[in-house]
Copies of this chain bind each other. A is one copy, B any other.
Amino acid sequence: MSTTPNSSNPTSPRTRVVREPQRAVYDRHAINQILDEGFVCHVGFAVSEPGKDGQPYVIPTSYGRDGDILYIHGSAASRMLRNLNQGVPVCITVTLLDGLVLARSVFNHSMNYRSVVILGTATLVADPAEKLAALRALSEHIIPGRWDDSRQPNERELKQTSVLRVPIDEFSAKVRVGPAIDDEEDYAFPTWAGVIPLEMKVGSAIRDERCEQDLPEYLKNYSRNK
């Protein structure tokens, strides 16, 4: 793999990668792969305070993707929902960590990672059919097959749940892969150099005390390598 991901063009000046532009990825297919592998996103939004710049908040939450739309649970961002009548500017970031990169110099240490940044306006999903489809997308994003094997949401639960919709229109990704890159004169420095891989590992399923069911097929080989 190369340390230079294939780049096309930024979707907007706001999502142009400024630092380390050689790591930029603007390709929708590549972005979708990163989104589909992540478990949680970090949602950023600003809350205005009198006489001050907006105070940013960053909240981790689960998400789902349906084509070019990202859905998140509104419940995870209750402070955000106060101002939601007209839609709220958000930034949604998904980060996958792949390794620690140990160079000879402190300065050239790095991490291997894949991250996506989406800028957009979050709006409340009002249509009941879209809401149900969005909740299904949120569930299937985490564990494909789980939705149909669970007790479906009832009216009361649907009312308690709010879902936000963010179009994936303005986005970019940054990707670093590969070995440490040192300044040429540092290669003689006598220290270990290389990469320590990191991976989100799925452990063995722990059955609930009050459950007697066998593990279903869709959980037997569950992993995030899609």
Chain B interface: which of A2-10, A23-31, A106-114? A106-114
Does A65 count as interface, using CB distance less than 8 angstroms? no
What 1/0 mask marks residues of chain A from 150 to 182 whose CB sits below 8 Å from any chain B CB? Answer: 111100010011000000000000000001100
Number of interface residues of A (CB under 8 A): 93
A183-214: which residues lie under 8 A (CB-CB) from chain B?
Answer: 186-187, 189-211, 213-214
A100: B residues at CB distance < 8 A: 39, 142-143
A125 within 8 A of B: no
Q: Do B198 and A211 have beta carbons less than 8 Å apart?
A: no
* Residues in chain B near residue A192, CB distance under 8 A: 149, 205, 207, 211, 213-216, 219
A45 to B214, CA, bound (A): 47
| A84 is an interface residue with CB less than 8 A from chain B | no
Q: Are B208 and A180 in contact (CB under 8 A)?
A: yes
Which of B56, B75, B151, B216 contacts A45 (CB under 8 A)?
Answer: B56
Contact with B along A62-76 (1 / 0, CB 8 A): 100000000000011
Do A106 and B152 form a contact, CB below 8 Å, given A43-B58, A111-B39, A111-B40? yes
Given contacts A102-B143, A105-B151, 9 further A-B contacts (CB under 8 A): A42-B44, A59-B117, A105-B150, A106-B135, A106-B147, A106-B153, A107-B160, A193-B208, A196-B206
Could you tell me which A residues sit within 8 Å of B by CB distance? Answer: 14, 18-19, 39-40, 42-46, 48, 52-60, 62, 75-76, 78-79, 89-93, 95, 97, 99-100, 102-107, 109, 111, 113, 115, 117, 119, 135, 139, 142-143, 146-147, 149-153, 157, 160-161, 179-180, 186-187, 189-211, 213-216, 219, 222
